[in-house]
Amino acid sequence: MPSPFPGMDPYLEDRALWPDVHSSLITYIREALQPQIRPKYVARIGERIQLAAVRHSYVPDVLLVPPSREPGPTLAVTAGTLVADEPQKIAFLDETRHVPYIEIIYRDTGDVVTLIEVLSPANKEGDGREQYLQKQAELLDTQANLVEIDLLGYGKDTILARNAIVTEPADWRYRINISRPQRRNELEFYAVPLRERLPRCRIPLRPPDADAILDLPAVFTRCYDVGGYDLLIDYSQPPVVSLSDTEATWLAAWLQEKGVRAEAA
């Protein structure tokens, strides 16, 4: 069963589902672009490691180490000498996030021509946001194109267009932006409301080569179909992510129209 939504499915913004969605998007974006850019360019999946503060962890914060079965060494006790009780021991786990991205390289030299980032909650909140903004700033000092795909309607804005006032359309929720090294002072972006389909995006290469075209609607459909999300999502309930009043009203009416949610009594 396909997603009932015309574009992005807000139920997939759920933090429990997003890691799988994110990995699928990266895989199928590379798959969609590769035939267009060969043989001059190659799209590769890279991975960086982000350390996360324990307080933001989604994995156990500590590992309990059982006490040894062997008795510990005994200390001679003399009058007036205290002997410490043996403590239990724990080892703290440093959580790491493996963050995949896509880089398009120029085959002859191996130079990175374009970096494609699909944002995750870790990029938009807490320490991870600062790490991402630093990485973003470093990339802007290079000759590489940057494409940022933000399909999460929550968290603090991170993509380059965060300082721009987007008034059209007024109800946009998702955003994709493109920064080219030849025109860093000019940003291209797509602002997408919940009610509209995802855009077919330009993916810049090295001039004078024409842009590749990322068919994001087709990529999303493939992610949804292969991921089996229709078996995991209960559309009779509201999504766990926050929606504006306008979005919530539209969503309820749309799902009723599509027959996946009963009309309110």
Taking only the tens place, the pLDDT of each residue in 141-182 is 999 999 999 999 999 988 887 777 787 898 999 999 999 999
Of the candidates 109, 146, 88, 118, which has an alpha carbon nearest to the alpha carbon of residue 26? 118
pLDDT at 60: 38
pTM tops 0.85, yes or no: no
Higher pLDDT: 165 or 65? It is: 165
Mean pLDDT across the chain: 87
Taking Cα atoms as reference points, which of 216, 151, 200, 186 lies closest to residue 12? 151
User: In the structure encoding, which two tokens stand for residue 170, read together?
Assistant: 């007024």
Report d(CA 93, CA 52) in Å as an integer: 10
Residue (of 172, 252, 214, 187) closest to 8 by Cα position: 172
Q: Are strands 62-65 and 41-52 parallel, antiparallel or unpaired?
A: unpaired
pLDDT of res. 160: 86
CA distance 202 to 13: 24
Looking up tokens 């510990």 gives 72
Sign of CA dihedral 134, 139, 140, 141: positive
CB atoms under 10 Å from CB of 133, counted, come to 14
Q: Confidence class of residue 70 from pLDDT cuts 50, 70 and 90? A: low
Chain segment 185-234, per-residue pLDDT in tens: 999 999 999 999 999 999 999 999 999 999 999 999 999 999 999 999 99
* Sequence-separated (6 or more) residues with CB below 8 Å from residue 132: 119, 122, 123, 124, 158
Q: Which residue has the tokens 């992005």?
A: 8
pLDDT at 165: 79
Which pLDDT does position 168 carry in this prediction? 85
Q: Which percentage of the chain shows pLDDT scores above 90?
A: 69
Higher confidence at residue 64 or residue 34? Answer: 34
The pairing of beta strand 172-179 with beta strand 212-215: unpaired
DSSP letter for each residue of 223-254: HHHHHTGGGT--TTS--SS---HHHHHHHHHH
Question: Hunting for tokens 């090294």 — which residue is that?
Answer: 181
* Residues pairing with 190 in the sheet: 176
Q: Which pair of tokens denotes residue 180?
A: 């080219």
